[in-house]
Structure 1
Amino acid sequence: MYVPHFNAMTDDAEIRRLVAEIGSAQLITVGADGFPLATLLPVIWRDDTVIAHMARANQHWKAIGADRPVLLVVTGPQAYISPNWYASKAEHGKVVPTWNYSVVQLSGRATVHDDPHWVRGAVDELGDRHEGHRDEPWRSSDAPDKYIQGQLRAIVGVEISVERVEAKAKFSQNRSGEDRAGVVTGLLHEDSRDAVAVAEQMRAAGDRPA
């Protein structure tokens, strides 16, 4: 991934927090025919391991070769940036549109798990991650066991051993403070949750000590 130094995310806790907040990733591999395969999966990243699961009917899992590299792409909020938002436009007009976003790429090796015990553990951990904050969190034990066993047979687990982490936050860091302030104001007036989220991330990045 192309990461200019001023866009590089280097704080491990911040990178992991972004992945946890998004909660999903595109799993990308290369098939036997040389063409890429991609599947969006719910994920949990702990230590150097990512766990996930996918539908058994999805032929992608059969193309995951042992000890072959895989790529996980986690994409945060993103938004178009209008040149009209830059204070410098009025000064010299030398401005063009761009796109602000954050993204994490995890590279490593994947293992497919077809063991019901492992798969249920992954499902329960993913469920706990997203249900834990609720007043009455759902648990797989809430459903009839026979039903759950049938659902588990319809999926396979995927475990990725992470070997490389690259993260990028493109938040107009190469612009002046006045230009960045204009971008934040412009984004906050957009009718888009992603635009507002990018503005909030830009504010948070600006509040951090250099």
Structure 2
Amino acid sequence: MYIPAKYAETRTEVLHGLIASHPLGMLVTHGPDGLSADHIPFEVSAPAIDAPLGILRAHVARANPVWQRDGAGVMAVFQGEQRYVSPSEFEEKAISGKVVPTWDYAVVHVHGSLRTVDDPAWLAALLERLTNRHEAAQAPPWAVSDAPRAYIDKLMAAIVGIEIRIDRIEGKWKARPPRATA
């Protein structure tokens, strides 16, 4: 990704914050038919000794061939807030007219290798964490235990875990605050 220095965001906690607040990532892989993109909700772990930039974790349908690319280099893209910026928002418009429209956005690219996790205990823990996080604002929140155990077991057999140890993470924050209107 092209990142002019003035738009570069390098603080891991800020980059992880965008992922946490916009967890639907676009996982880009290269397979037998070329590039492929899968849209998958991820969780991001905090940096640790064995993963100084953190780890992305998710699950996919067993029918999705992406999990069979174990060991492949991948990129996950997370997009935060974005908006069109009209020339009318720039003071320079009234002065010289030398302005053009632009687009403001925040984006994070994560690079690493895909690891398949076909472990029921790992998957169960991931599903509990994801559910608890995303249901927290619901009244009342749904829990995995609200569904019949046999049903959950059947669905869990149809998914596979994936993990991406973050080898490189880059962020671009191209944004300006909206101009106040009177």
Query: Aligned equivalents of 2:179 and 2:105: distance in 1?
Result: 13
Name the structure 1 match of 2:64. 58
Number of aligned positions between the proteins: 174
Q: Quote the Cα distance in structure 2 between the aligned partners of 1:59 and 1:184.
A: 46
TM-score (norm 2): 0.88
Counterpart for residue 25 of structure 2: 25
Q: Distance in 2 between matches of 1:135 and 1:93?
A: 51
Tell me how far apart the structure 2 counterparts of residues 60 and 110 of structure 1 sit (CA, whole Å). 9
Which runs of 5 or more structure 1 residues have no equivalent in the other structure? 173-179, 187-210
Deviation at residue 134 of structure 1 after TM alignment: 4.2
Secondary structure of 2:179 counterpart: helix
Identity %: 38
1:135 deviates by 4.9
Counterpart pick for 1:156 among 140, 154, 160: 160
1 CA distance for matches of 2:179 and 2:110? 29
Post-superposition CA distance 1:160-199 (Å, at most 9, x none)? 1111110111014xxxxxxx5xx4347xxxxxxxxxxxxx
Give the counterpart letter for 2:9 in structure 1: M
Gaps of 5+ in 2: 47-53
SS at match of 1:93: coil
Distance 1:129 1:109 in 2: 25
CA RMSD after TM alignment: 1.7
Q: Deviations over 1:51-104 (max 9, x none)?
A: 101112222322x142x2110100012111111221101111111111100001
Higher helix share: 1
1:1-210 to 2 correspondences below 5 Å: 1-33=1-33, 35-47=34-46, 48-62=54-68, 64-66=69-71, 68-172=72-176, 183-185=178-180
What's the TM-score once normalised by structure 1's chain length? 0.77
Q: Whose strand proportion is higher, 1 or 2?
A: 2
Which deviates more from structure 2 when the two are superposed, residues 114-123 or residues 142-151?
114-123
Question: In the alignment, what sits opposite 2:49?
Answer: none
